[in-house]
Amino acid sequence: MDWSKTLVKEEINFEADKKGRKLSYAAAIREALELAMTSDERVFIMGQGVDDPVGMFGITLDLHKKYGQERVFDTPLSENALTGVAIGAAVAGMRPVYMHNRPDFLLLAMDQIVNHAAKWSYMFGGSVRAPLVIWACVGRGWGGAAQHTQTLQGLFMHIPGLRLVMPTTPYDAKGLLITGIADNNPVIILEHRWLLRQSGYVPEGLYSIPFGCGVVRRQGKDITIVAISYMVVEALGAARELEKQGIDAEVIDPRTLRPLDEAIILESVKKTGRLVVADTGWKTGGVGAEITALVAEKGFEYLKAPVRRVTTLDIPTPASDVLEAKFYTGKADIIVSCSEIMEKKVTK
């Protein structure tokens, strides 16, 4: 039986059921992997450090002991070759989950990801599938500098054939990973390191969250903040401060960037007339640019003020704490952008 067809689709609010079972973000991911592996013997985990004593931030802790080294195994420092191995296994009928410590290392496998995984189904008219999950964790705040802290969702959002997932809550992390493993397309999941600190409500058992289904994290009427990944946490903090100024902000979490829930964004902007996009990546050619273009093309008549993007600076990530504090944006920057555009109007 295909376990993926038995998944229960469930939608839980960010603030839902605070009395329910709570798990850490890392534990929620681990539970998703364990449930998928128990339900389907085709699922296996590979990657650098998946069987180490701390289990990739706790995400794969002791899974190699339960399922054996044939299904949970460490890999050499050869990302392009090993991504090819994962794609080959997927095409042959397996469901690999390839774990990366950092998205930066995915750059070493771009040929396999972009020219092979993303295109197999299209090139063979759907007769060949590559059900592969590639997971990576965005680093921040530990001096990783320019080569270990890059948020590269803008690159992967550009590629047709890939599904791109960026969860925010432990609930979403589990449900979207289960959906990704069950999907017949290559899926890239980018987590934010700081989200691993979070805990939240997580139901037991298998459940899925549909790709392309965003969620309203906070209702509001004055301005829309579309926030990506960890920036949802910052946006909610900003919304609480803006409320003290008499500004009622709505916070939208897309959860997946490919496919993108265009409707939830456009409906919110139609209601509020103002938009700020908060992303963990760079401004030029990034996710913020794409969402801004979407609203300009399909919702320009709704806008009462220019759109603002809150992103990192268009420079490589600095290593020092002092420079990092200037480089990364957050709650304060969102507050400034929202306050300023509340005072502006679009001339049409």
Active site residues: 79, 148
Q: Which two tokens stand for residue 132?
A: 């592969």
Q: At what angle do helices 170-182 and 25-39 cross, to 10 degrees?
A: 30
CA distance 94 to 158: 26
In sequence order, which residues have a C-beta less than 8 Å from that of residue 178 and are 6 or more positions away? Answer: 7, 32, 35, 36, 206, 207, 208
With tokens 């920057």, the residue in question is: 333
Count, residues in the chain: 348
State the Cα–Cα distance between residues 333 and 21, nearest whole angstrom.
34
Cα 87 → chain centroid = 21
Residues 252/263, Cβ–Cβ less than 8 Å: no
Using an 8 Å Cβ cutoff, are 279 and 287 in contact? Answer: yes
- CA nearest neighbour of 343 among 309, 313, 308, 295: 308
Task: Considering only CA atoms, give the Rg of the chain.
Answer: 20
Phi, psi angles (nearest 5°) of residue 278: -115, 115
Tokens of 260: 């993108």
Distances (CA, A) of 1 to 4, 5, 39, 194: 9, 8, 10, 37
Of 13, 17, 22, 32, give the one whose Cα is nearest residue 198: 22
Query: Cα-flanking dihedrals φ and ψ of residue 215, to 5°?
Result: -140, 145
Distance CA 23, CA 144 (A): 27
Q: Which helix (H) or strand (E) holds 332?
A: helix 331-341
Cβ contacts of residue 170 below 8 Å, gap of 6+?
22, 23, 24, 25, 27, 28, 198, 199, 200, 201, 202
